[in-house]
């Protein structure tokens, strides 16, 4: 490199885990493409389901993709250990759960402290925890007659959906809202909240004097 060439800026390498539709992955990809989310790159997209729409989207966009099939592993810890080895091999700085249906074990959480983020379609701590996934959340909110709902981005810890909250968006629930209608409104908010929080976390990681390598 000649003296007047500046080295390329370090980007935070994202490992994105998807199990389904992948609309949050798409929102993150589009935010990167538009320059709104400039500090990160998607290093890999991983799924536990070969047919996940999100995985197909990633392939279409030419992203690096991988499937880890749960049935090939004797237990969750072995699965997460294989995932961890792969994430390390890919030099991943930040793990993004984007509609990922599996509960992450301490094997992964302890290796990426404060470096795994999740988006959840409710105002946590309400309507979180085991079994609270996707439409089940919106159905429970409607059944309880709540006046508002929303979405939350949080750090993943060993307590399901209970890690530190990094950001939330509120959505009013109208009396005639169905769970499907509420899901659409919440999802629209997720798509702007997640890139915004990832940008904030990436900026913080880049500013860490000790760098952003995984333990
Ligand atoms: C999103 O609504 C996300 O918040 C939810 O699954 C959906 C995935 O949509 N996540 C959870 O319920 C996690 N507990 P997507 O595949 O289109 O991004």
Query: Tens digit of pLDDT for each residue in 160-184?
Result: 999 999 999 999 999 999 999 999 9
Kindly report the CA angle at 105 between 72 and 200, in degrees rounded to 5? Answer: 115
Confidence tier at 2 by pLDDT (50, 70, 90) = low
Instruction: Give the number of other Cβ atoms within 10 Å of residue 115's Cβ.
Output: 23
C-alpha 151/C-alpha 137 separation (Å) is 11
Greatest Cα-to-Cα distance within the chain, rounded to the nearest angstrom: 65
The predicted structure's pLDDT at residue 210: 55
Out of 30, 120, 139, mutate this one to test ligand 1's pocket (max ligand atoms within 8 Å of CB): namely 120
Catalytic residue numbers? Answer: 120
Give me the residues paired with residue 45 across strands. 16, 65
Nearest Cα residue to atom 7 of ligand 1? 99
Ligand 1 neighbours (beta carbon < 6 A): 20-24, 54, 98-99, 119-121, 133-134, 137, 187, 190
The predicted structure's pLDDT at residue 4: 64
C-alpha 35/C-alpha 31 separation (Å) is 6
Domain ranges of the chain: 12-119+152-165+190-206
The predicted structure's pLDDT at residue 1: 52
pLDDT at 24 over 50: yes
The predicted structure's pLDDT at residue 101: 93
CB 205 within 8 A of CB 212: yes
Helices (H), 34-144: 53-60, 76-89, 106-111, 135-143
SS3 content of the chain, % helix, strand, coil (to 5): 35, 20, 45
CATH of domain 12-119+152-165+190-206: 3.40.50.170
Confidence tier at 115 by pLDDT (50, 70, 90) = very high
Cβ partners under 8 Å of residue 11, min gap 6: 39, 40, 41
CB 80 within 8 A of CB 108: yes
Cβ partners under 8 Å of residue 170, min gap 6: 123, 148, 149, 150
The residue with tokens 């890919």 is 90
Instruction: Give the number of other Cβ atoms within 10 Å of residue 30's Cβ.
Output: 14
Out of 47, 53, 119, 165, mutate this one to test ligand 1's pocket (max ligand atoms within 8 Å of CB): namely 119
Q: Give me ligand 1 centre to Cα 8, in Å.
A: 34
CA nearest neighbour of 202 among 95, 128, 108: 95
Tokens of 140: 């429970």
Q: Give me ligand 1 centre to Cα 201, in Å.
A: 20
Name the more confident of 107 and 2.
Answer: 107
Name the more confident of 36 and 215.
Answer: 36
């Amino acid at each position: 490199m000649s003296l007047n060439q500046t080295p390329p800026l370090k980007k935070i390498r994202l490992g994105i885990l998807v199990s389904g539709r992948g609309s949050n992955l798409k929102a993150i990809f589009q935010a990167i493409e538009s320059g709104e989310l400039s500090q990160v790159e998607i290093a890999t997209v991983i799924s536990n389901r070969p047919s996940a729409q999100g995985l197909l989207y990633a392939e279409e966009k030419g992203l690096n993709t991988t499937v880890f099939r749960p049935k090939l592993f004797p237990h969750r810890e072995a699965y997460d250990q294989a995932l961890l080895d792969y994430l390390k091999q890919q030099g991943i700085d930040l793990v993004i759960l984007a509609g990922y249906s599996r509960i992450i074990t301490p094997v992964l959480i302890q290796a990426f402290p404060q470096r795994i983020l999740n988006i959840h379609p409710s105002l946590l701590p309400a309507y979180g925890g085991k079994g609270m996934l996707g439409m089940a959340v919106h159905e429970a909110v409607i059944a309880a007659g709540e006046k508002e709902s929303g979405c939350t981005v949080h750090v993943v810890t060993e307590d399901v959906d209970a890690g530190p909250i990094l950001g939330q968006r509120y959505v009013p629930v109208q009396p005639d809202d169905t769970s499907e209608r509420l899901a659409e409104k919440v999802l629209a908010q997720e798509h702007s909240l997640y890139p915004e929080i990832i940008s904030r976390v990436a900026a913080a990681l880049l500013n860490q004097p000790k760098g952003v390598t995984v333990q």
